[in-house]
Structure 1
Amino acid sequence: AHNASLPALLSADDIKALLEEYNATLPSQMPLGASVDETYASYEQLPEEFQRIENGTKHTATAMKACIKEYNATLPAPVKTSGSRDALLEQLAIINPDLVAQEAQKSSPLKVSGTKADLIQAVKSVNPAVVFADELLDAWRENTEGKVLVTRQQLSTALNIQKALLEHPTAGKLLTHPSRAVEVSYFG
């Protein structure tokens, strides 16, 4: 019930979709080209401030690639879109810190599997006043002063005796009569 009442956390797939959406808005890197012609085509598409090879000089593939690499280095790097949910959240913090802050304020769902001690600790973190049956039984066993421990069979026999006495036509009237307080306290 507690977990169902919590606001839903972003799943790893949701975060990945946000990261991929961001990466799609980034300008793409200029390809270096496999041949001199491809490299020259990429070089020609560079903004003028990156076309540093003077006109009239030879446009070598190495010189053009250096200009392309310099331009590519100025472009924003795409964020990583793989890894654990926490790793993806770190990447999302780069592009949308407000959303990550909102996500951090949401309560995490409680674990629903693990050791008994872990589960008890998880429940107590939400409701510190909760008392478990094991704790009650342990407290009862530790404090036996003034108590007589009986088996289930002994309790059943005692309850049957009480029932038989209370249902008896003569004894029942005596045991439940208002002026017979002592007897009523034992059997009532």
Structure 2
Amino acid sequence: MDYQDFSKSLLLHPGIVRIELLSEDIKKEIYDIEYSTENVGFFPVDPVGLIDVCSHDLKLILFCSMDFNMFTGPFMTLIDGKGEVIGHDILDNERDQYDSPDYVWLTSNLFFDMSLLTEYGVRCIMGSLPLDLDDLPNDIRPRVFYPSKATADMLNHRFGATGNICSTVLLGVNNVLF
């Protein structure tokens, strides 16, 4: 598939307002922010989804409006120092399936199971998700990563994204040619 057709498919997707290429210089800045100690919060974050997206041949920045369907599946996993899963995020419509007195809710959709917490520490694995676009060939499978607020703010400032832009997303895809 050529880039022109792929970019048209992206812009026809609800909520995608603008597309920019992700250069190597900006990719390095993103890595610096995402792996920064100031960006960690109260436990370390491992942005494996960023590595996934950036491993693709074509890397893009998507500037999106409120119409963009952000989270189409779970992408955050909380693990302890031994690699055991102790929590994860859920979709809004799944909340009633996760009703336990052992669950500690960090946000409205991210919890950990207190009964699984050990002395080994906790970290958050941030994954990527598929982006389903209509009418793409089977070999075109774009992946998206939702960066931190600090990264999104940097990208919005760098590219002058204002107005109805409410989310900034990174996309990686193979088999798209210029």
| TM interval, short-chain normalised | under 0.3
Q: Using CA pairs under 8 Å that are at least 6 residues apart, name the structure with larger relative contact order, 1 or 2.
A: 2
- Greater Cα radius of gyration, structure 1 or 2: 1
With the length of structure 1 as denominator, give the TM-score of the two structures.
0.21
User: What's the TM-score once normalised by structure 2's chain length?
Assistant: 0.21
